[in-house]
Amino acid sequence: MLRKTDAPTKYYRTPRRFPGLTATVPHMLVSRRIPILAYLFLASLLALLAFKFHLSTRSDGGVFEDEDDPTPFDFALNFLLKPESETSPNVLVLVTTTPSEVRMRDQVRRSWANYTSQAVRVEFLMGIPTKEQLPAIQKESEVYKDMIIADVIEGYYSLAAKTMAMLLYKTRYYPDAKCLVKADVDNVLILRNYERLCEEAVGPVILGKCDVPRSVLRNTTKWAVPEFVYSEPVYPTYCSTGTYVLAGKTVPQRLIKEAMRSPFSNSLNFRKLSEDVIFTGILAEKAGIRRRHINGLSFFEMPEFFCRNGFKTTYSTHLLNDKNPVKNFYKLMKIEGVMCKWWDPYGVRRWYN
C-alpha cells in the first residue's frame, strides 16, 4: 500500500499518463489559436494579482513594529549648532531640512526667505549631519547664521522628532515670539502674509490647511496604521504638514506638555505616525488648542488663493515635481495683489473668521 506522501511524487513523475494535457498547454500558448488580446488580458490579470499580492505582503512588513521600541524621547535634547540672534521676532519660521539639501536652502534664501522685517526670522533645522557633511554645514552656518542642528538622527522617522525639536527650540530661545511657523523646505511661502496672519490671529490656535481627510488608513499600504498604534477610526481635525502656524506664545509649551504624558514620550510606533497628525491633531486636541482652516495653502505648485478685499491673496505652495523655490516664488508673487475675477481657476472665495 502507498503511503500518503508518495502519491504526488508518483503523479508528477509519470506525466505520460496525461499525454494530451502536457502536450497541448505549451503548444496553445505559442500558437495563434489564442488571440493576442485574450493573451494580453490574461497577462494583465496575472500582473494585477501579483500587484495585489505585493500590496498585501507590504502591509505585513509595514512601518509599524509589533514589538514597539519604548526608548524614551529626550525632551532635554541639545542643539549642536544654533545661530546667535539678537533680534526678538514676532514670527519665528523654522524650516525642516536635511544636511544634504544645500541647493534647496540656497534657493530658499534667495527667494521667499529674503524678506526684510524685524518681526520675522527664518532658520533651518536639521538632524545630525555625517562626518563628511559637517564641515560644509559649519561653513554654511558661518555665512548665513541661520542653521540649527538638533540632536536627532536623520531619517524618514525623524520628522516627528524634528518638529518636537522645533517646539523645544522656540520655547528655549524665542519664548516671546507670538507665532511659530513650521515649514518644509519644499514649501514656498509669502512671509508678508504670514506676518499679517500672525498679527491678526487670536491665540492659542493652529492655522493651516486643516480641511484634510481624517480617516485612518488601516490596511492598504505599508503606511497602514495598526489599531494598537491608533485605535480610533478617524484622527482629530489636523492641519496638513508642509506649512502650519502655531499662533500664541504658549502653544509650543502646551504641546510639549501633552507629548510628555502621551505615548509620544515612550513609543517609537507613535512617533512614526504622521508629524502633522501627532502635533496639530492628537496633541493639539488633548491640549485644547483649536485648529482653524485657512484658504490659500496649496498641496501643489499651482497656487490656491482667496480674495481679500477683492484682491488675490495666497499663503504657500508645495513643490512636488518642480523643486525650484526661486521660480515658484516668482509664480506665487505674480498673482499676489491681482484683482480677483469670477472666472479665475483655483480661487477660493470664502474667508473663515
Please report, as ranges, the residues that interact with ligand NAG according to CB under 6 A: 109-110, 114, 218-219
- Single-letter residue type at 34: I
Burial class (CB in 10 A: 0-12, 13-18, 19+), 2: exposed
**Residue 109 Cβ, how far from ligand NAG at the closest point, in Å?**
5
* Least distance from ligand NAG to the Cβ atom of residue 105, Å: 11
Beta carbon nearer to ligand NAG, 10 or 218: 218
Cβ contacts of 36 within 8 Å, gap of 6 or more: none
Cβ closest to ligand NAG, residue 17 vs residue 218: 218
Considering the complex, state which of residue 148 and residue 224 has its C-beta at the smaller distance from ligand NAG.
Answer: 224
d(CA 255, CA 35): 64
- Which residue, 24 or 221, is less far from ligand NAG as judged by CB? 221
Q: Are 188 and 112 in contact (CB under 8 A)?
A: yes
Q: Are strands 79-81 and 91-96 parallel, antiparallel or unpaired?
A: unpaired
Comparing CA positions, the residue from 314, 283, 281 lying closest to residue 297 is 314
Shortest Å, Cβ 96 to ligand NAG: 20
What is the spatial distance between Cα 317 and Cα 231, in angstroms, rounded to a whole number?
A: 32
CB 219 to ligand NAG: min, Å: 4
Of 105 and 209, CB closest to ligand NAG: 105
Question: Cβ 143 to ligand NAG, closest distance in Å?
Answer: 10
Cis peptide before 252 (omega within 30 of 0): no
Nearer to ligand NAG, 22 or 219 (CB): 219
Separation in Å, CA 203 to CA 170, 180, 248, 288, 351: 16, 12, 4, 12, 18
For 307, how many CA atoms within 13 A lie in the half-sphere containing its CB? 16
Q: Any idea what the Cα angle at residue 95 is, between residues 247 and 170, rounded to 5°?
A: 50
d(CA 60, CA 64): 9
Q: In the complex, what is the shortest distance from the CB of residue 147 to ligand NAG, in angstroms, rounded to a whole number?
A: 14
Nearer to ligand NAG, 57 or 219 (CB): 219
The least distance separating ligand NAG from the CB of residue 216, rounded to whole angstroms, comes to: 9
